[in-house]
């Protein structure tokens, strides 16, 4: 087995992040004078002891690429273009919302549900920038519950609930993340490049995963100068192929500019080989000649692949959002209710998603009073090396549209013209 290279050690994650941020600041137009301050803001807000605990937690046999201890820890440890931008963005929010009530509570919640809190801070910041007043985080709502954001706009009190829908569909294939490193280690003893394909036949338990793991390792140790070996039972079909003779790389084709993986697998992971001098270039996101090595592909079971119909998606989302509306309802009938729903990246242009959102909006508007509007937003990475929130709006029926239209138009104008890193 190859010895680990010292070049892969990053040392202190905070120092590593600062070094990477300063190296790439000019290329990505990151504000140099804010880098050290942003590190200090995030470190102090979440606590250095807690963050270092996230860096040091044992990953066991799970590789970095497939498992996150916490998104913030990975941002500091990876320190690529996206991760640097995210830390700077979060620091801007924390800096500008420092005087807002209950910010500390949101930060504490983000240690468990990071992306929920990030959405909450992102919109509290945006409301403050477009003229909202009396902003409060985690405001008291109805029956002892709390909303996410309270503010006043054109003298109208507004209660906001930020919502990230969770899929109820199972994906037990992620159990196999725990076997990836052991499989790659076993393949290191073989000559050539191998492809491991695992097609699940049913939802798997940890015990099933261990059985698959053992069979894959056994096959690897058995294979000798053969093109492939295959085994199948009631849990999975496993195929190991020697693809060293393949002259053209076909396992990672592109489709319409998006990366795809071999045979429509649900996920895959591969090894890369490069010379030692290329490691820093890869960290900096620069083009570097690399060679693909062994790879693993996994297909979910047919039962877990079943897609919900359009009607099922509408019913499910309506039910979830109706429950969320209870958290934004105040005894004061003058308070306007706003729901911000985070949808999948890039999905804001998906015709099915627009149809679903319109139907959900129609149902909810009929059944709930004082629903000001629903904002459907997608956090997307742009060619300007920034994250932006691209949104569409559903107006409530029977209410005065002017304030809600003005609010949404200001949000869109701010998003389109404002560079968040100019606001540090």
**Cα distance between residue 98 and residue 94, in whole Å:** 6
Residues whose CB falls within 8 Å of the CB of residue 367, separated by 6 or more in sequence, listed in order: 322
**Cα distance between residue 171 and residue 300, in whole Å:** 7
Q: In this structure, how many other beta carbons lie within 10 angstroms of the beta carbon of residue 49?
A: 7
Q: What pLDDT, on a 0 to 100 scale, did the predictor assign at position 105?
A: 96
What 3-state class would DSSP assign to 76?
Answer: helix
Closest CA to 422 of 23, 30, 94, 26: 30
Q: What pLDDT, on a 0 to 100 scale, did the predictor assign at position 287?
A: 56
Hey, CA dihedral for 61, 66, 70, 73, is it positive or negative? positive
The DSSP call for residue 143 is: G
Residues pairing with 163 in the sheet? 341
* DSSP-derived secondary structure for 290-315: -EEEEEEEEE--HHHHPPPPHHHHHH
Strand order in the sheet with 267-273: 228-232, 236-242, 194-200, 291-299, 267-273
pLDDT cut 90: percent of the chain above it: 34
Is the pLDDT confidence value at 146 over 70? yes
| Cα angle 75-77-83, degrees, rounded to a multiple of 5 | 25
Dump pLDDT digits (tens) for 92-113: 999 999 999 999 999 999 999 9
Dump pLDDT digits (tens) for 24-79: 888 889 999 999 999 999 999 999 999 988 886 544 444 444 445 788 988 998 88
Mean pLDDT comparison of 142-146, 161-165, 201-205, highest-scoring range? 201-205
Dump pLDDT digits (tens) for 257-303: 455 678 888 888 887 666 666 556 655 555 555 567 899 999 999 88
Q: In this structure, how many other beta carbons lie within 10 angstroms of the beta carbon of residue 38?
A: 25
In 154-300, beta strands by DSSP E = 156-163, 194-200, 228-232, 236-242, 254-255, 258-259, 267-273, 291-299
Dump pLDDT digits (tens) for 177-221: 889 989 999 998 888 889 999 999 999 999 999 999 999 999 999
Mean pLDDT of the chain: 81
User: What pTM does this model have?
Assistant: 0.77
CA distances from 129 to 125, 234, 362, 415 (A): 6, 58, 30, 11
Hey, CA dihedral for 395, 399, 402, 403, is it positive or negative? negative
**Cα distance between residue 116 and residue 108, in whole Å:** 12
Residue pair 21/46 in contact by the 8 Å Cβ criterion: no
Q: What pLDDT band is residue 331 in, cutting at 50, 70 and 90? A: low
**Cα distance between residue 268 and residue 197, in whole Å:** 9
Q: What pLDDT, on a 0 to 100 scale, did the predictor assign at position 308?
A: 66
């Amino acid at each position: 087995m190859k010895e680990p290279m010292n070049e892969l050690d990053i040392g202190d994650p905070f120092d590593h992040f600062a070094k990477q941020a300063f190296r790439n600041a000019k290329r990505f137009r990151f504000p140099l004078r804010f880098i050290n301050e942003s590190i200090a803001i995030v470190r102090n807000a979440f606590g250095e002891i807690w963050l270092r605990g996230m860096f040091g937690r044992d990953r066991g046999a799970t590789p970095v690429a497939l498992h996150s201890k916490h998104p913030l820890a990975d941002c500091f440890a990876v320190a690529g273009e996206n991760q640097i931008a995210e830390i700077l963005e979060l620091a801007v929010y924390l800096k500008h919302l420092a005087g807002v009530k209950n910010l500390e509570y949101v930060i504490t919640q983000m240690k468990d549900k990071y992306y929920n809190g990030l959405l909450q801070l992102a919109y509290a910041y945006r409301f403050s920038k477009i003229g909202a007043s009396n902003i409060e985080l985690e405001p008291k709502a109805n029956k002892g519950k709390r909303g996410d954001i309270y503010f006043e706009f054109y003298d109208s009190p507004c209660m906001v609930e930020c919502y990230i829908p969770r899929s109820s569909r199972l994906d037990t294939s992620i159990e196999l993340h725990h076997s990836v490193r052991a499989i790659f280690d076993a393949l290191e003893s073989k000559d050539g490049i191998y492809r491991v394909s695992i097609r699940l036949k049913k939802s798997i338990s940890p015990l099933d995963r261990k059985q698959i793991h053992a069979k894959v390792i056994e096959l690897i140790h058995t294979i000798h100068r053969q093109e492939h070996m295959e085994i199948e039972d009631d849990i999975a079909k496993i195929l190991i192929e020697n693809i060293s003779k393949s002259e053209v790389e076909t396992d990672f084709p592109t489709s319409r500019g998006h990366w795809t993986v071999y045979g429509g697998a649900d996920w895959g992971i591969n090894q890369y080989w490069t010379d030692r001098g290329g490691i820093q270039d890869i960290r900096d996101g620069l083009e570097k000649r690399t060679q693909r090595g062994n790879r693993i592909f996994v297909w979910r079971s047919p039962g877990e692949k079943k897609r919900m119909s359009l009607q099922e998606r509408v019913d499910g989302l309506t039910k979830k959002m109706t429950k969320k509306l209870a958290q934004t309802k105040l005894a004061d009938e003058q308070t306007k209710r706003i729901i911000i729903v985070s949808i999948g990246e890039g999905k804001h242009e998906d015709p099915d998603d627009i149809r679903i959102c319109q139907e959900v909006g129609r149902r909810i508007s009929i059944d709930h009073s004082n629903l000001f509007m629903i904002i459907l937003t997608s956090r997307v990475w742009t060619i300007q090396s920034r994250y932006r929130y691209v949104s569409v709006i559903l107006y409530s029926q029977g209410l005065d549209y002017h304030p809600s239209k003005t609010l949404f138009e200001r949000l869109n104008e701010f998003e389109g013209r404002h560079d968040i890193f100019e606001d540090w």
